[in-house]
Structure 1
Amino acid sequence: MLKPETRYAINPATARTLDTDQLRDHFHVGDLFSEGEIRLVYSHYDRLILGSAVPAGGTLTLDSVASTGTATILERREMGVLNIGADGTIRVGGETHEVSNGEVLYIGKGAGPVEFGGAGRFYILSAPAHHSYPTRLIRQDDARRVEMGAGESANKRVILQFLHPEVCPSCQLSMGYTQFSEGSIWNTMPAHVHDRRMEAYLYFDLPEDGRVFHLMGEPSQTRHIVMANEEAVISPPWSIHAGAGTASYTFCWAMAGDNADFTDMDMIEMGDLR
């Protein structure tokens, strides 16, 4: 039985007192991708599980997870899996799906064990679910595409929405990724919060010596966490989530909570950030 690392929820007053190492202990997720392993982190923010599977040409099976208290991880959960590596396979419910780089497989509640194979680097997200939707492979051309920003403000980007009401139904898990044009480095600014749901980011396609300075915290009490390639960060519902990189990058965003409306955000005026 797989035993994920557990991250407990804390309130914003406590977060104000944390130093750099303590912030990272609570919110930063490093060493996420390891060849031949499945690694998971169980967050008490909306019970989101995030993790990875890197089969490295072999086979890895995700089935029973101690933190869920169920016979199999998907007994009362749904899952989204993004491949950020080479071609791989995911077998679930008796069907094998060929998943290429940049594609997302949605897996519905009750689908059973999940088997990963090939050369993929699979980023895994799972949230509690109340209904079973069909498993579906979503290719880049199927995603909802939203272009935003401009080069002069260093935030020209395209948002690809995969687990979105207009693309693929889900219970509460929303998921996609944002790609930046060359020379653009700022994400999610002006900042926002959404107290009705938490969010997690995975930063990838970042040069080995590149970094993203991820901004978090209450709007009046901002902090930063330095992120390297293929590292994730957990964002509480009360926290902003934004950042700037030393080079262009991609980040996968995922949300779990009460509202699946992507535009349900409480915007923060730039002058109110501290």
Structure 2
Amino acid sequence: MRSAPAALPRWGERTLVMGVVNLTPDSFSDGGCFLAPEAALRQALILQKQGADLLDLGAQSTRPGAVEVGADVELQRLMPSLDLILQAMGGGSAPRLSIDTFHAAVAEAALEAGAHWINDVSGGRRDPAMLPLVAAAGCPYVLMHSRGDSQTMDRMATYGAVVPTVRDELLRATDRALTAGVQVSQILWDPGLGFAKTTAQNLALLRGLPELRSEGFPLLLGPSRKRFIGEVLQEQRPRARLWGTAAVCVAAIASGADVLRVHDVGPIVQTARMADALYRDRLPREPAQATAL
């Protein structure tokens, strides 16, 4: 029998770091690097050694302009790597495994295989079967704010005031999840940096994180190597945006972020530990609606 992963700390004790493992040929910064299961396993083991608390496996690129491949192709890419990683990471010190998908069929297969979290960039919009599945599974569910899809999101970055609008749209998505039977304790919020947001809107969202956290849900942020950091730094190379990513992570922790989803786990683990020492004691011990990890 496969051993359960080690328990994660309670919300508020420290920032959790989620490492990205892209099982795609076309992700914006490392597409094709980990498409083969053996390469994905090597990367997962590296991120584990660097201190990742969670690993987020995704087999569909969600970058602006990406072509959607459908659930069948996503499963063909995901399952061999997931099975290999689960076999290799059976011990109690293994990171939790999150699956980045908006397809219920992919989420169901991954959870049955042994994955632990579902990270849905559509917040339940794209597949009506997703929320009932998550409700039945009882697993942690990252509910992200987004608009449209990869082909249309850049044309949908129109907001009166971005922070209250994102908050209200997350609340409506949360209501849909609760109506489907998802428990409050399962839900994490992700404001969706880079998804239907301009650079100025992403920066405003980061400044407004305390307003989002005041709703009581743990916050997951995914700033890693993103285009808005490149625009601020005038840096076109995604992999050269590490220190901009680190700066965003410090600001996010100071404003109450609970999970950081990043590519460069080692440096961001150090960044998070230092930021925790500086800011964590000033924050509420845990969100008002803490989730079971």
Smaller-chain TM-score bracket: 0.3 to 0.5
So what's the TM-score if we normalise by structure 2? 0.37
Name the structure with the higher strand share: 1
1 or 2 for the larger relative contact order (CA 8 Å, sep ≥6)?
2
